[in-house]
Amino acid sequence: MFGHKTCKNGHINDSSWDVCPVCISPVCGWLVVMNTEHKNKVFTIHEGKNKFGTGIDCEIRILMESISRHHALFISKDSRYYLSDLNSVTGTYINSRQITSEEIIDNDIVKLGDVEFKFKCL
């Protein structure tokens, strides 16, 4: 009654929503964890805005120490993908280069805090 409602994929939803807005959006890519104990874990990226972070309002929740509450924003628009840093403490990197906002392409290595991901687009 007082907790959060979650969909079967673990996305946190508002109690008034009958469907998960993340799950109904078409998939446009994946982020695969390359290191840490979560190696090979896959995060699905959907069309539109995808917020990365530990916060419950993030579409992609990555519960790791080095990730900020609102760490980065992934936007998919017209088959092009952009990654922006949201003033995170540990920074956002694409191919070992710290960025504030930049386009991202297939097979890029994304680093959020200490966690490295490989981006695969559809």
Partner 1 sequence: MIKSIKFILILILFCSYLIDFNIFSEDLTKYESISLRIDQIISDNFPNVFAYVSVYNNMDNKPLHSLLKSNFIVYADGKEIQSKINAENFYYTEEAINYSVIISSNGLMSGFPIEHQQKACVSLMESLREQDRISLYLFGEEVKTVFEFEKKNETLLEKISKVEVLGFNPRLYDVLIYTARRFSENKIKRKIIMIMSDGREVGSKYNKEQVLNILSETNVPVYSIGMILMNKNNLNRIASISDNTGGGYIYTWNIEELPAIINILNEQIKMSYLLKFKINKIKPDDQFHQIEIKVKYKGEEAGFVKNFIAKKIPVPLWFKIIIALLFVLIFIGLIILLFASRKISRKKLGISNRKCTVCKRRMKDDWDDCIFCRHLKVKNKKKKLILNN
| Span from 23-31, 87-95, 98-106, 113-121 in contact with partner 1 (CB under 8 A) | 23-31
Amino acid identity, residue 47?
A: E
Could you say whether residue 21 binds partner 1 (CB under 8 A)? yes
State which residue, 20 or 32, has the beta carbon closest to partner 1: 20
d(CA 76, CA 5): 26
Could you say whether residue 19 binds partner 1 (CB under 8 A)? yes
State which residue, 3 or 10, has the beta carbon closest to partner 1: 3
Amino acid identity, residue 53?
A: G
Amino acid identity, residue 98?
A: Q
Contact 68, 86 (CB under 8 A): yes
Beta bridge partners of 51: 73
- Contact residues for partner 1, defined by CB under 8 A: 1-4, 12, 14-17, 19, 21, 24-26, 48-49, 51, 55-57
